[in-house]
Amino acid sequence: MRVLAINDISCVGKCSLTVALPVLSASGVTCDILPTALLSTHTGGFTGYTFLPLDDEMNKICDHWETLGLKYDLIYSGYLGSRAQIAFVREVKRRFLKEGGAFVVDPVLGDNFTFYKGFDRGFADEMLSLCAEADYILPNETESYLLTGTRDFSAALAALAKVCPHPVITGAQAEDGYYIYYYENGEQKMKIPHRDGSFHGAGDVFASAFCGCLMRGLSLEKALKVTADFCYRAIVRTEKEVSDRRYGLNYEREIYPFLRDLEEQA
């Protein structure tokens, strides 16, 4: 099984490809990477970071891959910094996804019900068009709102299900706790444990583990349960061990329990 992860490389901060590569590899699948940009740190809370877009290099990389006949069982895209990169990912899917393979989009747009810097309504519309080509999409509660215009999770899920066969809304806050809303033969939801606060890189850990679970043959429900438990344990460990949360989740020592759960369900 071979997976392609498309995301940036943030050299410090445990997110994007520096999370995807170890988590997917530990899951028992081959993980190749297509970096969209190179940053000294991620942008969440750090200042003075360096940023090098890799659009030109991405084209060269893919042209070389085509000579090797590479094809992927799953392609997963994360943070994309421009409309041009969204269009390029669509082309990567066309060129490199195996027939019958899975395309997973984490539509990174914003948090706290606002766009990240540099994103706007037009960008969200482009991202929605990419979601329309996906088998699974993983918006958080903010991104589900930015994609659909509603904060009602049932309505948002129904709207996204018209675009993608398996939308998943993560971290959806309700009066009685937090849920994952997902679509499989209609609306489903799963109550999940929650810790207050912001944890940088948690979404990337979730998406990477989820893709690993899919590749190991877990059902959507089981993949979400195993992934959510892994992320929760990593967050609890981070609360205990990390004073500066900008540096990401301490997920490394939770990989073994994640793999144990994965193997039990696979």
The region, left, alpha or beta by phi > 0 then psi within -120 to 50, assigned to residue 66 is alpha
Q: Distance between CA 38 and CA 35 in Å, rounded?
A: 7
pLDDT interval class at 11 (50, 70, 90): very high
Per DSSP bridges, beta strands 2-12 and 30-41 are parallel
**pLDDT of res. 112:** 87
Q: How far lies 169's CA from each of 29, 73, 133, 140, 188, in Å?
A: 25, 23, 17, 5, 11
* Alpha helices by DSSP H, the chain: 17-26, 55-68, 83-96, 121-131, 141-148, 153-161, 202-215, 220-241, 255-265
Residue 178 has pLDDT above 90, yes or no: yes
What's the N-to-C CA distance of the chain in angstroms? 14
Domain boundaries, the chain: 2-265
Q: Classify domain 2-265 by CATH number.
A: 3.40.1190.20
- pTM of the complete model: 0.96
Half-sphere exposure of 174 (CA within 13 A, CB side): 16
Residue 117 has pLDDT above 90, yes or no: no
Q: What is the pLDDT of residues 38-94, one digit of tens each?
A: 999 998 889 999 999 999 999 999 999 999 999 999 999 999 999 999 999 999 999
